[in-house]
Amino acid sequence: MNALTSVAAAPNISRLRGFVSSFAELLASTDEERAILERGSALLRKLVAHDDWLPEAYARPDPTRYQQYLLHCDSRERFSMVSFVWGPGQATPVHDHGVWGLVGILRGAELVQPFVRNAEGDLVSGGPPALFRPGEVDAIGPGIGDVHRVANAYDDRTSISIHVYGANIGAVERATYDTAGRPKRFVSGYANRTLPNLWDGIATA
């Protein structure tokens, strides 16, 4: 079977539960951003190598805008995990995060355009957009680059990425930026009011 397995009729929720447990263990062992991003990338890459675990309720696009579904938030808010669901052609504004983050592509593909401050303090393109495909992982953070614009690479299908952040990202005050690099503060929240049941040892959904 291909490493990127097909979507199953019933989600294999044990994969998500295993990832959450492993990531919590990682954060218990270090608070150094570089180590978290390096070792966390390997964990997320292993998770998104399989497309059989995400419940359908957290994979639904919306025709008006992209959706951010909370999958898990650590009880001490050390990290949160979301599924980011893109309808065809949807894109974010230029924005920041304020915390470290990892993004793994589960379905479809994403185009990521980085932005940096030049010597005059203006926000400018940090290079050409990067294309990320299923199984690939990107890292962001205050120490390595935190401002970007992201888009569904496809105009005719849904794309889904899995994000892990170093905070309860839906409650973090962040900023979008206009063409002049001026910030506009926002708090994203989440699209859902219920979470996947990770802890039922019998049920898979």
Report the first-to-last Cα separation within the chain, whole angstroms: 23
Tell me the Ramachandran region of residue 57: left when phi exceeds 0, alpha when psi lies from -120 to 50, beta otherwise. alpha
CA atoms within 13 A on the CB side of 183: 13
Beta carbons of 72 and 80 less than 8 angstroms apart: yes
- H/E element holding 161? strand 159-165
Distance from C-alpha of 88 to C-alpha of 109, rounded to nearest angstrom = 11
Distance from C-alpha of 104 to C-alpha of 165, rounded to nearest angstrom = 12
Residue with tokens 């299923």: 134
Nearest alpha-carbon partner for 84 in 144, 164, 138: 164
95 annotated ligand-binding residue? yes
Annotated binding site: 95, 97, 148
Annotated binding site for Fe cation: 95, 97, 148
